[in-house]
């Protein structure tokens, strides 16, 4: 679920007034992955969130919005997917309290339903009738919650690096610990105990877990464009305060407000034929766990990114883009065929 990159790395629906300030930016492809067509600051409950759009709403295929992980993460891990804007508008944003968005740091805002309402505020402000919602990690839970709450506005929902249930996630990560070398696994267990060793002992073991399941050593180095993008659009970056409050100190134990979170009951409320699960071969979101979710979503599809971990979008960018591109094109074609038949 939680895209927490080792804590050091970048990893009641209430009325909302949505107001945006739009700026058309000059083209400068040398310094960015892809310069935005427009940027917006959209008023949501609790503050304003930063939104960027590539393409023109109302032109091209059905738009897509990408929902980052965390909680407390940022949109930047989706930057390499802006190439999808050659056929459809691509919308990226930072959730309240992270990245380029406002940081009121009010715990009252850190509720799943408020994050879902945040998405709806963005949709209304941009004038999107229907869109694809692609969520990664924590974002996949928000994508499912949004699809269940607003089916009329959801063309499809992609649940990638899938987190839908804390108990499933914790069970999965603890099973993955068993697959590590015995000494590493023993150290992690000790570090999760009451009398934890010093950080100098725990950090290398946790790093070994991440190297296996969330950022594999063979991942490509960041491109100059990616580095320039982070420098320009990273904002205040990952918000550790939100992560700790909603999740907890490690991937292996949830002590925050999401400790009892479980969205699996929503799976019967969505159209399974419009749900795609995507995981990496070595993902923290274990394939067998996600297969259980697929079984609860009749008609849903599952894609596995070969050689990818939880960070598969960065590790296997071409495969990831192809999966998302093909999925949305097929859904759009199906919708067009239905409309023609009517």
Question: Average pLDDT of the chain?
Answer: 90
Ordered DSSP codes for 218-233: TSPPPPHHHHHHHHHH
Range 186-200 burial, b when 16+ CB lie within 10 A, else e:
ebbeebbeeeeeeee
**Omega into 28 within 30° of 0, i.e. cis?**
no
Q: Could you say which of 102, 165, 310, 320 is catalytic?
A: 310
pLDDT of residue 342: 58
Compare 23 and 263 and report the one with higher pLDDT: 263
- The Cα 191–Cα 249 span in angstroms is 11
CATH 3.40.50.1820 fits 38-166+234-341, yes or no: yes
- Spell out the SS3 assignment of 50-79: EEEEECCCCCCCCCEEEECCCCCCCHHHHH
Q: Which residue has the higher pLDDT, 335 or 59?
A: 59
| Residues 136 and 75 sit within 8 Å (Cβ to Cβ) | no
**pLDDT exceeds 50 at position 17:** no
Q: What is the pLDDT of residue 112?
A: 98
**Residue-range domain boundaries for the chain:** 38-166+234-341
Q: Which residue, 274, 323, 330, is CA-closest to 156?
A: 274
Q: Is 101 a catalytic residue?
A: no
Confidence at 9, pLDDT banded by 50, 70, 90: very low
pTM: 0.91
CA atoms of 187 and 193, how far apart (whole Å): 10
Instruction: Give the pLDDT band (50/70/90) at residue 25.
Output: very low
Positions of E strands within the chain: 38-44, 47-54, 64-67, 90-93, 131-136, 154-160, 275-280, 301-305
The pLDDT tens digits for 97-130 are: 999 999 999 999 999 999 999 999 999 999 999 9
Q: Which of 137, 160, 309, 320 is flagged as catalytic?
A: 137
β-strand pairing of 64-67 with 90-93: parallel
The tokens describing 173, both together, are 């990560």
Known active-site residue 310 = yes
pLDDT given at position 11: 35
To the nearest whole percent, how much of the chain has pLDDT over 90? 81
* Region 184-213 average pLDDT: 94
pLDDT value of position 33: 82
Q: What's the pLDDT at 143?
A: 98
With bands split at pLDDT 50, 70 and 90, how would you rate the model's confidence at 34? confident
Q: Is 283 a catalytic residue?
A: yes
């Amino acid at each position: 679920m939680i895209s927490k990159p080792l804590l050091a790395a970048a990893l009641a629906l209430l009325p909302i007034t949505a107001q945006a300030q739009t700026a058309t930016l000059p083209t400068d492809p040398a310094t960015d992955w892809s310069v935005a067509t427009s940027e917006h600051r959209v008023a949501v409950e609790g503050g304003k969130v930063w939104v960027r759009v590539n393409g023109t709403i109302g032109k091209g295929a059905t738009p897509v919005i990408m929902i980052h992980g965390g909680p407390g993460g940022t949109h930047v891990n989706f930057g390499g997917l802006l190439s999808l804007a050659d056929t459809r508008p691509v919308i990226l944003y930072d959730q309240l309290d992270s990245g380029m968005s406002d940081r009121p740091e009010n715990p009252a805002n850190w509720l799943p339903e408020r994050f879902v309402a945040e998405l709806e505020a963005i949709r209304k402000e941009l004038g999107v009738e229907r869109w694809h919602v692609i969520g990664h990690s924590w974002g996949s839970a928000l994508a499912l919650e949004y699809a269940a709450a607003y089916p009329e506005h959801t063309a499809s929902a992609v649940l990638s690096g899938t987190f839908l249930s804390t108990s499933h996630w914790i069970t999965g990560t603890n099973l993955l610990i068993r697959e590590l070398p015995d000494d590493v696994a023993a150290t992690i267990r000790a570090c999760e105990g009451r009398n934890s060793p010093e950080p100098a002992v725990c950090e290398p073991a946790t790093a070994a877990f991440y190297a296996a399941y969330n950022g594999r050593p063979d991942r490509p180095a960041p491109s100059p464009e990616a580095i320039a993008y982070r420098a320009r659009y990273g904002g205040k970056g990952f918000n550790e305060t939100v992560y700790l409050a909603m999740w907890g100190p490690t991937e292996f134990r949830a002590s925050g407000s999401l400790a009892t979170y479980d969205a699996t009951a929503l799976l019967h409320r969505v159209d399974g034929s419009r749900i795609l699960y995507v995981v990496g071969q070595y993902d923290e979101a274990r394939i067998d766990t996600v297969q259980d979710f697929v079984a609860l979503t009749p008609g849903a599809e599952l894609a596995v990114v070969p050689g990818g971990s939880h960070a598969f979008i960065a590790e296997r960018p071409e495969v990831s883009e192809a999966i998302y591109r093909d999925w949305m094109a097929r859904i759009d074609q199906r919708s067009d065929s239905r409309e023609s038949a009517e």
